[in-house]
Structure 1
Amino acid sequence: MIWNEKIECASLDQMQALQLAKLQETVAWVYDRVPFYRNKFDSMGLKPDDVKSLEDLAKLPLTVKTDLRDNYPFGLCAVPMDDVVKIHASSGTTGKPITGPYTADDINQWRECVARNLHAAGVFKKDIVQVAYGYGLFTGGLGLQGGCDLIGCATIPASSGMTERQVTIMRDFGSTVLCCTPSYALTIAEKAADMGVDIRELPLRVGVFGAEPWTVEMRQEIEERMGIRAHEVYGLTELMGPSVSFDCQQQDGFMHINEDHVLAEVIDPVTEEVLPLGEKGELVFTAIQRRAMPLLRYRTRDITELRRETCSCGRTLLKMKKVLGRSDDMLIISGVNVFPSQVESILLEVPEVEPQYVLIIRKKGYLDALSVDVEAKAEVYDQGEEKLQAVEKRIEGKIRGTIGIGVKVRLVPPKSIERSEGKAKRVFDARKL
């Protein structure tokens, strides 16, 4: 079902009754089938019957990424492999990959969540959807494909890469929807301009972007360059993949959580205390309908806040604020906490630069120092050193005034920063060189 009004517009009492039943069912399921959780419960003196209300969720053990790596590949799987129909995994660039096994029911639930996301973005059966997320172990490509299949729209499984071909397909096939990372959307827009193709004149009208943090300013930049409405898809390999949450036509900076499938909490990342609605902290999710690998209280490391209100779109689903940083991506420069997204917001307000940048961390004495390389627009770069220095000083002043730290800014030639075909790498740690 694409528009599930019974769920997406449920009353709080109806939703919480469903959540409690599914939570109790899931806790009993993992206790009986996953030794890792059974040992955790036993060491804490907990039994599944101790979960009598949603407030009891806070009693359950937290799960962290190292738990998944320590139990690689299928130590947290709650079903025999005969019941597994698909296995996804993370890239594993920082260690063993995170595996995500699915039963047939898990896949069907995931498809519905993705279809809800697409429907909220204004995607319908008549659309032609170009999926430029990577296909394969990464959940992005096949995840969006599943939602498109449920809607019944025409899907182009373009995958990521070969950017010139992406533009050609978009033009020749008449794509009306583009799904990819936001940084790759900008790469596609830039390539189109190089090819003499005006994307704004093509049938493309909607973008569904995710898999990396991106600012409101980045959304506005994409919308301006491509002439589309840019919507967000949020997800994790560990939970189901894309469409754990999504934004709607209101684009108010918050996303609707598919809370009939995942319970959301925000905790203090240091004390692990559960925080009330409206307070910023680390996002924690519990899967309550998955069967292959339902995780309890999984720490995402994403920083956000939760809000419960009826949206003007009619949905009553719990809302999470747009994620603009992760607790493990936070930089500490001169004693100040800095998220890359803060710098991005400032750069995208500067008309003389392109939305292509990297942050470089170096050692300066006993402290860490941050510098920024950002591409100048061609017409600015051609004006010479005096103009570049003036813009650099202005950006440095904006950063100091907003974040409170001194940052060295360097304007570099157009197209000198490596382009992304997937998740953009924005931070380089030169301390390790």
Structure 2
Amino acid sequence: MKKPYWNPMETAPLHEIRAMQSLGLSRTVRRVYENVPFYHKKFDEMGIRPDDIRSVDDLAKLPFTYKQDLRDNYPYGLFAAPMDEVVRIHASSGTTGKQTVVGYTQHDLDMWAECAARALTAAGADSSDFVHVSYGYGLFTGGLGLHDGAGKIGASVIPASTGNTKRQLQIFRDFHSTVLCCTPSYALFLGEALRDAGIPLSEISLKYGVFGAEPWTEEMRRRIEDLLGIKAHDIYGLSEIMGPGVSYECGAQKGMHINEDFFIAEIIDPDTGEVLPEGSTGELVFTTIAKEALPLIRYRTRDITSLTREPCSCGRTFVKMNKIMGRSDDMLIIRGVNVFPSQIESVLLDLGMPPHYLLVVDRKGTLDTLEVLVEMDSSMEFDAVRLIEQKEKEIRRAVESTIGIAAKITLVSPNTIERSEGKSKRVDDRRKLV
């Protein structure tokens, strides 16, 4: 019989969770003050002493930390542990500016594996499973994070990494993979490849999926579940805070439980920094309370979501975060309107279109323009001009109704929009080039 949860801490009463968080917060504040010059200086400038922070209620007194702070202190300036205690280094892709470098002590790695073990267990995995990890291995945190979590629950780990999709499908069949871990866009790509190869679901053993590293919609979840014949679960993480496993979805699939014994979550107004009440949508902020190498205080993730403590049918008591709507720094402002790619994706999938699209934002004179390139389904007749025009009109009306501004919709041939084995590119903002 599968375990309902990995660790009893996941069902702890709120007063116990808050007591643990308060203790962890006070210890972390002292640790960074004594070991990280950046925080020592910032606290002194604000007139904050470690003794001032006694409980979670004091959290709002502390300053925010930004990704730029990690870049400004590149590579190891924010580390709170001596380098001879740092046993692993990871880093972001560094697509804009310097990479953000993160480090882990052995204690940190053990904690990370614990988080990933909880996530996999919540998805339905146990020691009898074959966990097929198709996140990237290397400096990216995805692959090794789920790898270690699968090892902790005693599962058989298949470190497939990304790429070579034909070989991935062969591994599905020959190695009897039961749990797939990758980005949702790559899961969708694998599902389509499976279908196109004519491999029936009866010939593979997949049962569960653990997908993260990019926002995805409920419509995309249904598409993935249909293509792969699995139950698809969301997982959330970011390298600066830990990696995959900061929060995870249980069988209820109604939000991701945050590992509150390791992390304190807040929702703030991204413009003012004001802490918002439970249920409000805003920017997600994390404070680590158990990390040794890179503890961070009130780190602004730029991810937009909301938190809820409504009881969950799974019995876990950890606060839940809803699916990420998008990012405050990736959010598009078009003609004064906030637009998230996930809004467009929901519209397309509701209308039965494939979730392969690209938002092209440009500026003509002083007016912003939005064009949405959408791949046609292979079943559509490419020469049926009237059908295509009708579909474009239908999508245009639905998009305008959803985001509040008009957009040009252009249907393009199947496989026209570039696929990704990692995070998908959804936006081409050409205004920055003008």
Q: TM-score, normalised by structure 2?
A: 0.97
Supply the distance in 2 between the matched residues of 1:339 and 1:61 (Cα, whole angstroms): 28
Paired residues for 1:17-416 under 5 Å: 17-199=19-201, 201-252=203-254, 254-351=255-352, 353-416=353-416
Q: Deviations over 1:168-193 (max 9, x none)?
A: 11111111111000000111112222
Letter in 2 for 1:286: T
Secondary structure of 2:28's aligned partner: helix
Q: Aligned in 2, Cα 1:225/1:101: closer, same or farther, shift over 3 Å?
A: same
Contact 1:144 1:242 in 2 (8 A): yes
Tell me whether 377-386 or 100-109 shows the greater mean CA deviation.
Answer: 377-386
One-letter code aligned to 1:327: S
In percent, how many aligned pairs have the same letter? 57
Give the partner amino acid of 2:64. Answer: L
Task: Please identify, of 391-400 and 189-198, the stretch whose mean Cα deviation from structure 2 is larger.
Answer: 189-198
Q: For each residue in 1:393-419, what CA deviation from the matched residue of structure 2 results, as whole angstroms up to 9, or x when unmatched?
A: 110011111211111011101111111
Query: 2:6·2:117 contact (CA, 8 Å) conserved in 1?
Result: no
Segments of structure 2 that go 5 or more residues without pairing to the other structure are: none
SS at 2:416's partner residue?
Answer: coil
Q: Judge conservation of contact 1:2–1:116 (CA < 8 Å) in 2.
A: no
Aligned-pair CA distance for 1:309: 2.8
After TM superposition, give the deviation of residue 381 of structure 1 in Å: 3.5
- Structure 1 runs of 4+ with >3 Å offset: 1-6
Contact in 1 for aligned 2:23/2:55 (Cα 8 Å): no
Classify 1:244/1:130 alpha carbon distance in 2 versus 1 (closer, same or farther; 3 Å).
same
Task: Report if the CA contact (8 A) 1:189-1:199 is conserved.
Answer: no
3-state SS of paired residue (2:139): coil
Q: CA deviation at 1:40?
A: 0.4
3-state DSSP of counterpart to 1:378: coil
Which amino acid counterpart does residue 421 of structure 1 have in structure 2?
Answer: E
- In structure 2, relative to structure 1, the CA distance for the partners of 1:4 and 1:377 (3 Å cut) is closer
Shift of 1:5: 4.4
Contact 2:136 2:142 in 1 (8 A): yes
Q: Give the Cα–Cα distance (whole angstroms) in 1 for the partners of residues 126 and 364 of structure 2.
A: 54
CA deviation map 1:342-396 (0-9, x unaligned):
0000000122x32211111111220211111111112213352111111001100
Supply the AA of the counterpart residue of 1:311. C
Closer/same/farther in 2, CA of residues 184 and 289 from structure 1, 3 Å limit? same
1:259-305 CA-to-partner distances (Å, cap 9, x unmatched) read 10000011111111111111111100000000001000000001111
Q: Residues 116 and 145 of structure 2 are in contact (CA less than 8 Å); yes or no, is this contact kept in structure 1? A: yes
| AA in 2 matched with 1:430 | R
Q: TM-score, normalised by structure 1?
A: 0.97
Tell me, yes or no, if the aligned pair for 1:89 and 1:138 is still in contact at 8 Å.
yes
Root-mean-square deviation over aligned CA pairs: 1.3
Say whether the 8 Å CA contact 1:282–1:304 is kept in structure 2: yes
Q: 1:2 Cα deviation (Å)?
A: 9.8
Superposition deviation, residue 201 in structure 1: 4.4
Stretch of structure 1 that moved more, 303-312 or 227-236: 303-312
Q: Is the partner of 1:392 in helix, strand or coil?
A: helix
User: How many angstroms does 1:194 deviate by?
Assistant: 2.4
SS of the residue aligned with 2:354? strand
Deviates more, 1:324-333 or 1:188-197: 188-197
Is contact 2:183-2:212 (8 Å) kept? yes
Contact 2:4-2:122 within 8 A present in 1 as well: no
Q: Distance in 1 between matches of 2:8 and 2:233?
A: 23
SS in 2 for 1:88: strand
Letter of the 2:370 partner, please give it: L
Aligned length: 431
Instruction: Show structure 1 runs of 5+ residues with no match.
Output: none
Q: Is the 8 A contact 1:381 1:413 kept in 2?
A: no
Secondary structure of 1:348's partner?
helix
Q: Contact 2:25 / 2:55 at 8 angstroms: preserved in 1?
A: no
Q: C-alpha distance in 1, partners of 2:212/2:133?
A: 12
Give SS of 1:380's match.
coil
Partner Cα distance (1:201, 1:305) in 2:
40
Q: Deviations over 1:49-85 (max 9, x none)?
A: 0012211100001000100000000000011110000
Quick one: structure 1 residues 22 and 177, their matched pair in 2 at CA, closer, same or farther if it must change by over 3 Å?
same
